[in-house]
Amino acid sequence: MAANSLGRHSRVFVEVRKAIEDYIIEHSLKPGDQLPTEPEFCELFGVSRTAVREAMKLLEVFGVVSIEPGRGTFLKKPNAADMLSGLPLSLMLRQEDFREVTEVRRILERYCMEKAANCVTVFREELTVIRMVDNLGECVREMERKAHDGETLIEEDIAFHRILAEFADNSVLLMILELFWNLRSRFPQDNSKEALQIRYHRHQRLYDAINSGNMSALDEAFEEHYTGSIEETSLMDI
């Protein structure tokens, strides 16, 4: 009896979630628009407040809405990374998928790095390029400090690659990479001082090659960086 009750409860809030998604589409809501309140949805769908609340929590986990206490619930801009951020990593990927994620990221980020090196070479005097190069350098300096102190480098690592992706000036590419970075931040990682130093030096060499516009040096630094990433992935115990 209890199991049947639980099953009915689960189906109800999944159905309510779908009804809310349909409401968003039918009313052409845009990011930033406010959704009806819980009581309004209860009356609209003829369901309990608990069912609406659970459905909203699930939509929030998937990055569809933002629940702001005291203000209401608002539609968010679609973000693929948010859709996975609340799910257990073990449910998203098989053991062999981790290596494949790194391989796909490798292809996309190779493109970003080549674009960055080309921009630095051709448009070095432009303010936007100067700022991006300065931001890359700041990431590397912070990596050096943290590696020395034995602190994790994940935030600076992602920031470094995000800056490179911005050189590509492609919003779809950036969204895809955000998804991979979200996954990467959740991978188990060797944070021994030796591993941190190696990770810092890899990024330092990438920065030096991009800043100098030396494509040959960039090729070598890039291969070293991703070979190391794949080796780390292969040693992980998921």
Q: Is the pLDDT of residue 237 over 50?
A: no
Q: Helices (H) and strands (E) in the chain — how many of each?
A: 11, 2
Residues 6+ apart with CB under 8 A from 190: 232, 235
Q: Residue 237 carries which DSSP code? A: -
Residues 6+ apart with CB under 8 A from 153: 143, 146, 147, 196, 199, 200
Q: Is the pLDDT of residue 2 over 50?
A: no
The arithmetic mean of pLDDT across residues 116-120, rounded, is 88
Q: Is the pLDDT of residue 83 over 70?
A: no
Beta bridge partners of 65: 75
Rounded to two decimals, the pTM is 0.60
Domains, the chain, with CATH or none: 2-78 (1.10.10.10), 92-234 (1.20.120.530)
Percentage of the chain with pLDDT > 90? 29
